Amino acid sequence: MWTKAEKLTAKLTLDEKIKMVHGAELFQTKGGERLGIPPLKMSDGPMGVRQEFHPAGWKPVEHSDDYVTYLPCNSALAATWNRDLAFETGSVLGEEARGRGKDVILAPGINIKRSPLCGRNFEYFSEDPYFSGKMAAAFIRGVESQGIAACPKHFAVNSQELRRMAMNAVVDERTLREIYLTGFETAIKEGKCRALMTSYNQVNGIYANEHPHLLKEILRKEWGFCGAVITDWGGSNDHC
């Protein structure tokens, strides 16, 4: 018995499928108008649903219904060591994302803190892979309890902002798995997230968004992830 999604997919043309997996405008994909498939709408997190922008640029729309709860950053949340609170925080984020008409919240950030110079450390939970994964899993369950897909990021080995779109993270297999992938593995297996965002950087010379070892061998085959893989904004390199 086919699901409704499978039946619709079978009716889509190749051109329609391609349009649906690309960004049509800021934080939004193309829908399948012919079959009544709405676009997928996303928003940044995790400290509250991001304000709305005009479709073609980063100019805020600025209207009164933009106001949402200003949630604590992940580093502050981690300082509580409280997974129940992480769930509640995610639940608030998911509820308010749903109220704003979103399908996916691009959160939580779960990269490992390795350098004090990383400008986005406040978005990440911890230096500890095990702890990061446990907090992230609870946060994700909270988001998805509200019918919104959580999208943890940035997969993987993204622990600096300097040349973040082009830098090459050189790491051996043991360090990769024990330090950089543990949190993501827990988020996927225990949090059951429906989406995952890749990072801009290269990992051992290959961009993360097209990395066979990370995406096919580990993510899909070993961890059994069957959700959507989303590139960071503009982070798709080889379209062939």
Active site residues: 232
Burial group, residue 202, by CB count within 10 angstroms (0-12, 13-18, 19+): buried
CA distance 238 to 236: 6
CA distance 36 to 8: 10
Count Cβ atoms below 10 Å from residue 55 Cβ, excluding itself. Answer: 12
Q: How do strand 149-150 and strand 104-106 relate by DSSP bridges?
A: parallel
CA distance 42 to 150: 10
DSSP state of 222: I
Alpha helices in the chain (DSSP H): 4-11, 14-20, 74-78, 83-99, 129-144, 173-175, 182-189, 212
Q: Is 192 helix (H, G, I), strand (E, B) or coil?
A: coil
